[in-house]
Amino acid sequence: MRLLIVGTLGGQLTIASKIAMDKGASVTHADSNDQALAVLRSGRGADLLMVDVALDIRDLVDRLDAERIHVPIVACGVTNDARAAVKAIHAGAKEYIPLPPDPELIAAVLAAVTDDNREMIYRDDAMASVVKLAQQIAGSDASVLITGESGTGKEVLARYVHSRSQRAKKPFITVNCAAIPENLLESELFGHEKGAFTGALGRRIGKFEEAKGGTLLLDEISEMDVRLQAKLLRAIQERVIDRVGGA
């Protein structure tokens, strides 16, 4: 779980940062929207942004959209001002957290965007054979295809494989290919170079590079445009990528 905290708010965000790290999150700080974008472009990435409500959240959301960076935002502030919370959510934040932070609330927010590494619980013989196979392949660097009906736990199994692999201490990056518009997905996966399209103000590292040394889960891969599937196939087979606008 990678958390990027944006803003200062005195020592309150430092407390929130410590709580998050105690829950197992990797925490990065940025003082401003500009610094936050620089972090996200660089490939250090984030699964969640926790942003000072005093900052211009609308501006941050618009700039993330313009640069095709998809990451949920939670606003936080030192007041229980309902208007500030509503304004932040209208601007694009998913939630508002009052500060000083409540450890249980921070834990709940982190749990909403990531799973922990507790043992998988199952009792069906068919599932037992699946888990046994997952244990056997976890140590390899092979690409893995997990199929199944919606809701049967494909991502849970992917995290299980990751947690028992040699990549366990590296990032686990998830991309829902069905949830990202077709014209944005290529940049999301492969990144882009400065000037590659309108709004590309700097080089942006994509999910393949973010996941280097770790695991990249491509969810709902069959929903991807066929032309992009061809580029994806090359990346998987040859272990080579081209950023949008790159060589």
Supply the CATH number for residue 59's domain: 3.40.50.2300
Which of 52, 47, 61 minimizes the C-alpha distance to 32?
A: 52
Angle at 110 between CA 217 and CA 106, to 5 degrees: 170
Q: Tell me the pairing of strands 215-219 and 172-176.
A: parallel
Asked if residue 101 has a cis previous peptide bond (ω within 30° of 0), the answer is no
Encoded tokens for 11 = 């020592």
129 falls within a domain: yes
Q: How many Cβ atoms sit within 10 Å of the Cβ of residue 81? A: 13
Q: Which of these three, 92, 113, 134, is where a domain ends?
A: 113
Q: What is the mean pLDDT of residues 120-144?
A: 90
Domain holding 38, by residue range, is: 2-113
How much is the mean pLDDT over the chain? 85
224 falls within a domain: yes
Instruction: Supply the pLDDT for residue 224.
Output: 87
Asked if residue 161 and residue 107 are part of one domain, the reply reads no
Cβ–Cβ under 8 Å, residues 89 and 5? no
Q: Which residue bears the tokens 């407390």?
A: 15
> pLDDT tens digits for 151-186?
888 988 998 999 889 998 888 888 988 888 887 888
Q: What is the pTM assigned to this prediction?
A: 0.63
